[in-house]
Structure formats: C-alpha cells, structure tokens
C-alpha cells in the first residue's frame, strides 16, 4: 500500500515537472502595436531541390512588409527561429546564434536555396494578389484560412502552404 502511494506521488511529481518544463519552453507573444498586422498559424515549405527539402512549423508573423518579425515554433511551443527584418537588414536568431544579411530575400535564399516571399505573405494573408516574380499565389481558400504559393522560376521550384486564423 505504501509503495503504491509513493508510486502515485512520483507519477504526479513527474507530470508536474514535465508540465512546468513545457510551459517554460513556450513562448510568450508581445501585444500587437497599433497598425501592426499580426497573423498566426502553421506553414510548410517544400523545395524541389536535390535532395528535396521540406520544413514546417507554427508561425507568428507581425509587422509589415518593410519591417517585421516571423517567429517559428515547434508543436511543443519551443522557438525554432526568429527572423527580424528592416529596410536595411535581416537577421535570423536560432538559440544563441545570429545570422545577419543585407535583406530578407538574401537571408531566405541562403537558408532555403530560394528567396521566400515573407514580405508578400502580409498581402496574401489579407487576400491581396501581389506581384512576386516567379511566384504564383492561390488565394481561392484565403477566406477559409488557407493560402498556397508556388515558385516556378528560377529553379528550384518550391511550394509554400499556409494555414492561419482568418
């Protein structure tokens, strides 16, 4: 009887510790600023390179095409990476490592092999067709919280799928 009680106590303690650790890993979001777009959801990027690359994560996108922040998180809420950009530069923060480049396109090209139109996402999420060379956005399901964009040129081709709260 005493052994069963100690076993239950240890199990409860383990659940409490696990919940505390997971809560500590979760990221907190700052409140939106006046005039700032804020979007959350999941995104997946598939690049038809050799070898093929694919990536998916939860995201929080805020700001504007000229200056903003994209935070990518795992299903458990751990921050995988944060991309911050201004008209002068862009940087990727992963843990203690920071990669800086002169533009958002330069940074995303280096990381994924193709320029990912992060700035165009703001318009696409609002249902606005934007002219992004080489990319075609399918906004037919935007009202349902789904946007797909395909890059056809230059190679490699790529597909970006976004599911978000409309």
Q: What is the pLDDT of residues 22-32, one digit of tens each?
A: 223 333 444 54
Say if residue 159 is exposed, middle or buried (CB neighbours under 10 Å; 0-12, 13-18, 19+). Answer: middle
Place 6 in a pLDDT band, splitting at 50, 70 and 90: very low
Residue 32 lies in a domain: no
Residue 132 lies in a domain: yes
Q: Which of 153, 152, 130 is nearest to 142 (CA)?
A: 130
Residue 8 lies in a domain: no
CATH (domain of 54) = 2.50.20.10
Residue 6 lies in a domain: no
Residue 22 lies in a domain: no
d(CA 15, CA 159): 39
Query: Residues 106-154: pLDDT tens digits?
Result: 988 887 766 788 888 899 999 998 888 899 999 999 999 999 999 998 8
Domain containing 50: what range? 37-164
Residue 7 lies in a domain: no
Backbone angles phi, psi at 20, to 5 degrees: -65, -45
Helix (H) or strand (E) holding 63: strand 53-63
Residue 101 lies in a domain: yes
d(CA 99, CA 125): 27
| Domains contained in the chain, number | 1
Residue 2 lies in a domain: no
Q: Where are the alpha helices (DSSP H) in 26-114?
A: 104-112
């Amino acid at each position: 009887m005493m052994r069963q009680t100690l076993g239950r106590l240890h199990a409860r303690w383990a659940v409490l510790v696990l919940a505390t650790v997971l809560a500590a890993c979760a990221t907190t979001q700052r409140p939106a600023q006046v005039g700032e777009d804020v979007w959350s959801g999941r995104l997946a990027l598939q690049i038809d390179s050799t070898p093929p690359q694919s990536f998916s994560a939860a995201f929080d996108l805020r700001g504007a095409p000229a200056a903003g922040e994209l935070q990518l998180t795992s299903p458990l809420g751990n921050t995988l990476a944060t991309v911050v950009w201004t008209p002068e530069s862009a940087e990727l923060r992963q843990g203690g490592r920071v990669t800086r480049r002169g533009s958002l396109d330069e940074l995303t090209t280096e990381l994924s092999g193709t320029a990912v139109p992060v700035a165009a996402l703001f318009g696409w999420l609002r249902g606005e067709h934007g002219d992004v060379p080489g990319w075609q956005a399918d906004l037919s399901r935007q009202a349902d919280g789904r946007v797909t964009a395909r890059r056809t040129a230059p190679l490699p081709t790529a597909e970006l799928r976004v599911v978000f709260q409309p």
